Structure 1
Amino acid sequence: MTMHFLWSRPDMSDDRKSAVALSSVFASAAMTVMKLAVGLMTGSLGVLSEAAHSLLDMGAAILTWFAVRIGDQPADERHPYGHGKVESVSALIETGLLFVTAAWIVKEAVTRLMAPAVEVETTWWSVGVIVASIIIDIGRSRALSKVAKETGSQALEADALHFSSDILSSTAVLIGLGLVWLGWPKGDAVAALGVAAFVVLAGWRLGSRTIDVLVDAAPQGIAERVEEVAAKVPGVARVDAVRARPAGPTVFAEVVVKVGRTMHLEQVEALRRAVIERLKSDLPEVQPMVIAEPLTLDDESITETVRGLAATRGLAVHHVGVAAMDGHPHVSFDLEVDESLTIAAAHAIATTLEDELKAELGAEVTIDSHIDPRRKEVFTDAQPAGHRQAEIRAALAGLADGLVDKVHHLEVQEREDGLYVSFHCLFPDDVPIGQAHQATARLEHRLRDTVPGIARVVVHAEPISEGA
């Protein structure tokens, strides 16, 4: 009994993600133009490196804008897990651009440091444009971080990281301009190296997390949280395994839970749905697929073991009895098999089931099984047999004496395999069901011995308070 259920990824489309990403494009473009103009006028490598950094940020912001628009598209036939990893691909491209930019800045800085003389001019507008960029970076970083947290967008998170690193690198440029103003021109190149260091650090952080997503590395601690939540659902014996993989803001989790093997399929289905609903409620970012597998529970009775083991093999048993013989358990049951089977085939099925029960219950258990043929056809042709009804009614009048209080609703049909007889009988309301069953069974046997040609007898026992 293994059951599966997969929830489709919900539509995560959010206009805020697209709007905040587009605003970052315009902000990056404005800062790129300002820094480039001032850098060319002053000859400051620090400012020019910041212009290159802002140009990179603009390209990254454009990538982010496209990524969030594509990533929010719902799952389809070719992308059953959605398009969330488009954001991760975008972030990976941004990571590569960060390292390329850092390499260029380092090369130019080393060249200037090795040069005998460097001319750098410190002006009020060079300082002003850096201060303005810091203020813009602070605003963009906060806006992007807020929407990234609310929507779980990795692309927006990467963009926010870019802007936050720009704040630190711009501060390093200010320090470099200050060193130039104090009379050390090469301080600008040193500041550019500081910018490169911040760029490399931002790229390393972003790249590590992006690669984790692309190689399906489970988010830290998510498996433990899923296991903890699923284990709290009543009916779950234990959580056997949890496998999680991220796809954009969504984490797809495959959860294997163990349930009592005596549970009906409807109960198992209800339990799986309960686990899914609890996970979605407690961990909204998780989209679970729950697999339920049977487990022998410690408190499972011998009767439940017999029924459960038979059911898992597609067999039906009834009249399961358990008794103690010479200090050891003795099990008996009726095994239903197809009536078309030969005695050899039916006996082989019974023997296999008995051997499996002994392996599970212990070798000291003794087992008796009775093979019952099960008809293929449930319904057959039937005609009223009114001419036999008076005969059977008269027989029941004498046979029921001392067993049941009253026989009524008698019906007799002529079927292809013989007579079908059904009737109702009354018992006092407080009679135990076991006693009533014994009485109806004895009445059925008496009727079969008295009236020839009976193929089937159905006796419906009911309390006097409900009977006619």
Structure 2
Amino acid sequence: MNYPRVRRTLILTFFLNLCVSLAKGIVGALAGSVSMVADAVHSLFDSVSNIVGLISIYVADAPPPDPPRHQYGHGKFETIGTMVVGGTLLLITAVVVGYEGFGRFFSGAVPDIQPLTVAVMVVTIGVNITITLYERRVGREENSSFLLADSQHTASDILVSLSVLGGFAFVCLGYPVADAIIALGIAVLIAKMGMEILYNALEVLADASAPMDYDRIDVIMQTTAGVYSYHDFRCRGGKPGEIFCDLHVVVDPEITVREAHLIGNRVRDRMKAEVEGGVVDVMVHIDPFFGNAGPAEAEKDNGDDRIQR
């Protein structure tokens, strides 16, 4: 991964997201639109997300200390920061926005919809579309899971902003309560996003199984010379470049330790090179095959050496 390029992308999107948030917040406050202010707060968390990304990229790109203290890398520091943002800041924001929406619902205050208000929303939607497409392109080119996820987060901003414009339309048609109702809907959306971020972060911290292409793993085992079968396959990690795997590989019991070691190395190297998802390391445990069958029949005749996912 080209860390400097990812860092530059995050810095650029941070300032763009901050400008979008300030524009929505100032104009929304002047117009008295609680839904627009809620959307501004939602946009502000895009900037917070960029800060989390910058910190994680800095930690990931930093040279390891000698001796290394975190021998499995620093990836979970990003997860911890993400959990704080999703589990604390987003949920608090959802409560505040919901409270404001309820207050506006019962007060009956009507936002002042002006051409400037609509213009700001349209311009910020255009900026968010540009940010989403740019982050997605760089994320795919650099295989950056954070940029891809952040582009999806920004894309949710577009939907929220469109809903705010819809609320403006209902206000102009004589339904001022729509502004408060849409603010409550935005609060629910922010709370849902926070809960999803919190859940995904906890899954990573709890070493949940990483998504893997098991069919490709089967092919690698079937075509690697010297491998009779494999079992007890496990993996953990939340994103590319942080996935660790371990498995048991069954080999001929008559070969030397050196030959078995080389087979294990071939399995490790092929999994790191051929399995999509960013496998960073594979721990291979060598098991001897107990039986008289040849390699083609070893797996079906040896009941303990089954493929386990």
TM bracket (short chain): 0.7 to 0.9
Query: What CA distance in whole angstroms lies between the structure 1 residues aligned with 2:143 and 2:247?
Result: 22
Query: What CA distance in whole angstroms lies between the structure 2 residues aligned with 1:230 and 1:150?
Result: 30
In the alignment, structure 1 segments of 5+ residues that lack a partner are 1-11, 301-468
Shift of 1:234: 1.8
Write out aligned runs for 1:312-331 (5 A). Answer: none
The partner residue of 2:58 within 43, 47, 69 is 69
Query: What CA distance in whole angstroms lies between the structure 1 residues aligned with 2:209 and 2:215?
Result: 11
One-letter amino acid of the structure 2 residue matched with residue 70 of structure 1 = V
Note if 1:56 corresponds to 2:45.
yes
Query: What CA distance in whole angstroms lies between the structure 1 residues aligned with 2:141 and 2:191?
Result: 27
Counterpart of 1:82 in 2: which secondary structure?
A: coil
- Per the alignment, residue 289 of structure 2 pairs with 295
Shift of 1:296: 2.3
Shift of 1:223: 5.7
The one-character-per-residue Cα deviations of 1:322-377 (angstroms, maximum 9, x if unpaired) are xxxxxxxxxxxxxxxxxxxxxxxxxxxxxxxxxxxxxxxxxxxxxxxxxxxxxxxx
Shift of 1:152: 4.7
**TM-score using structure 2 length:** 0.85
Write out aligned runs for 1:59-458 (5 A). Answer: 59-73=48-62, 75-76=64-65, 77-96=68-87, 97-115=89-107, 117-222=108-213, 225-246=216-237, 248-250=239-241, 251-283=243-275, 285-286=278-279, 287-299=281-293
The one-character-per-residue Cα deviations of 1:196-229 (angstroms, maximum 9, x if unpaired) are 2322333333333222212111123456653552
Counterpart of 1:118 in 2: which secondary structure?
A: coil
Note if 1:39 corresponds to 2:17.
no
Query: What CA distance in whole angstroms lies between the structure 2 residues aligned with 1:191 and 1:275?
Result: 54
The one-character-per-residue Cα deviations of 1:4-55 (angstroms, maximum 9, x if unpaired) are xxxxxxxx55222211111121011111221122012111111111121222
- Given that residues 18 and 68 in structure 1 are in contact (C-alpha distance below 8 angstroms), is that contact kept between their aligned partners in structure 2? yes
The one-character-per-residue Cα deviations of 1:77-114 (angstroms, maximum 9, x if unpaired) are 11111112222223212212222211111111111111
One-letter amino acid of the structure 2 residue matched with residue 211 of structure 1 = L
Distance 1:299 1:185, change over 3 A: closer
| Identity between Structure 1 and Structure 2 (%) | 28
Tell me which protein shows more strand as a share of its residues.
Answer: 1
Distance 1:215 1:13, change over 3 A: farther
Q: Does 1 or 2 have the higher relative contact order (CA < 8 Å, sep 6+)?
A: 2
In the alignment, structure 2 segments of 5+ residues that lack a partner are 295-309
The partner residue of 2:4 within 2, 8, 15 is 15
Matched positions, count: 288
